[in-house]
Structure 1
Amino acid sequence: MFREISDLMKERMNYLELIDKEDRINGTPKSQRLRQIPPETGKFIALMLAASPDGIAMEIGTSAGYSSMWLALACRETNRKLITFEILEEKVKLACETFSKAGLEDIVELVHGDARYLINKYSGISFCFLDCDKDYYLDCYEAIIPKMVRGGILIADNAISHADTLKPFLDYVYNDPRVDALLIPLKNGELVCRKK
């Protein structure tokens, strides 16, 4: 799967990695930063998506589309589309540019809006990568889990780097009888949930 990263995707990934690095150094306001995942996390979520059951692949928090590119690799491998949600207008524009330049417009459906209120349109979700504003994790989780197929996988980013902020969410998930959950200590920490 990873050998199939096109030159267009590599070029766009490198471009976004450079912007993200500069954002973290130059004091770019938090809301404007790309705040994207590291490549190792990208490979991890792509592997998990490829191993998930049949159904809808979803992402909440597109930003500029970096993680979406990794997920698109798995979607190509498993013959699915990715539905990704982004609420900020300027990030939607960047993500559209990313999907166009990376040749992914046939695989990725970008939805501009608040996923918490739009997920109810979908059912049969088999995979979701959650990487939005941390205050909304629990609301998103509660919208997704009832719509997930048995064996579906939800991955929540930043479970270690934002552990204090996410503590109520993490405690809730660890005690949720609908899922099995495990914290993976990869980079910023990935909470992996599998629906029972």
Structure 2
Amino acid sequence: MEETWSIVDAYFSSKLHGADPDLDYVLKANSEAGLPSIDVSPSQGKFLYLLTKLKGAKHILEIGTLGGYSSIWMARALPEDGRLITLEYSQKHADVARENIRKAGMDHKIEVLVGPALESLPTLKEKGFSFFDFIFIDADKPNNPNYLKWALMLSKPGTVIIGDNVVRDGEVVDGNSQDSSVLGSRALMDLLANEPRIEATAMQTVGSKGYDGFVFGIVKE
């Protein structure tokens, strides 16, 4: 089935995305630098772009940069005075991302902060970022509940919060799993189920990245 999912993904990309040398360069540069192949797919990147545009976002927070592929997708939807702050643990990944972002002409909109996200997040308000209107969580999965708590603190009514890779090949339903990423996804769902400040749902996805999914929420008025 995964082969079919990938073929369908490629078909949709060929029809709906068109040639994109800058983003093709990002994926090539990431591969050559030895970064793990865990970027969002082109279709998922375009989906983030469209959601960002639909929201009319001006301030975006991304937790987990990797090589900047999703950062560039979302930054393209920002107005000229918009800003995307992306947090990356690895200095190597951040260096690759910054070059990719520069090559894509998005360095005036994107700032990469290096270090553990849970250390960077408390510094954002003092840097002048009191709230964000679009937040994408795509970092180490065991910390998903902690990232959501920070996302809520850095939100305002109407802020969109998206968490990626929550299905884990269906293992999210395994209450006996000892996998730290599965446990992180389950803890995230428990937190959302009991969090009165946000309305949320989750969607399963298939495609070139296999079987996974994301959680989508909007902070209440």
TM category (shorter chain) comes to 0.7 to 0.9
- CA drift at 1:34: 4.0
Q: Which residue is 1:98 aligned to?
A: 100
Q: Which residue is 1:59 aligned to?
A: 62
Determine if contact 2:133/2:158 at 8 Å carries over to the other structure: yes
Query: Alignment partner of 1:68: what SS?
Result: helix
Determine if contact 1:65/1:98 at 8 Å carries over to the other structure: yes
- CA drift at 1:22: 9.0
Determine if contact 2:63/2:117 at 8 Å carries over to the other structure: yes
Query: Alignment partner of 2:168: what SS?
Result: coil
CA distance in 2 between partners of 1:115 and 1:107 (Å): 20
Larger radius of gyration: 2
Identity rate, percent:
26
Residues 53 and 100 from structure 1, CA distance in 2 versus in 1: closer, same or farther, beyond 3 angstroms?
Answer: closer
Determine if contact 1:19/1:34 at 8 Å carries over to the other structure: no
Q: Say whether residues 1:185 and 2:195 are aligned partners.
A: no
Instruction: Provide the aligned length of Structure 1 versus Structure 2.
Output: 182
Output the amino acid matched with 2:162: I
Residues 74 and 55 from structure 1, CA distance in 2 versus in 1: closer, same or farther, beyond 3 angstroms?
Answer: closer
Query: Alignment partner of 2:77: what SS?
Result: helix
Determine if contact 1:182/1:193 at 8 Å carries over to the other structure: yes
TM-score normalised according to structure 2 size = 0.73
Q: CA RMSD in A?
A: 2.6
**Structure 2: runs of 5+ lacking an equivalent:** 1-16, 173-181, 207-211
Q: Which residue is 1:167 aligned to?
A: 186
Runs of 4+ in structure 1 off by over 3 angstroms are: 15-23
Q: How does 1:114-133 map to 2 (within 5 A)?
A: 114-120=116-122, 121=125, 122-133=129-140
- CA drift at 1:160: 1.6
TM-score normalised according to structure 1 size = 0.82
CA distance in 2 between partners of 1:105 and 1:20 (Å): 17
Query: Alignment partner of 1:182: what SS?
Result: strand
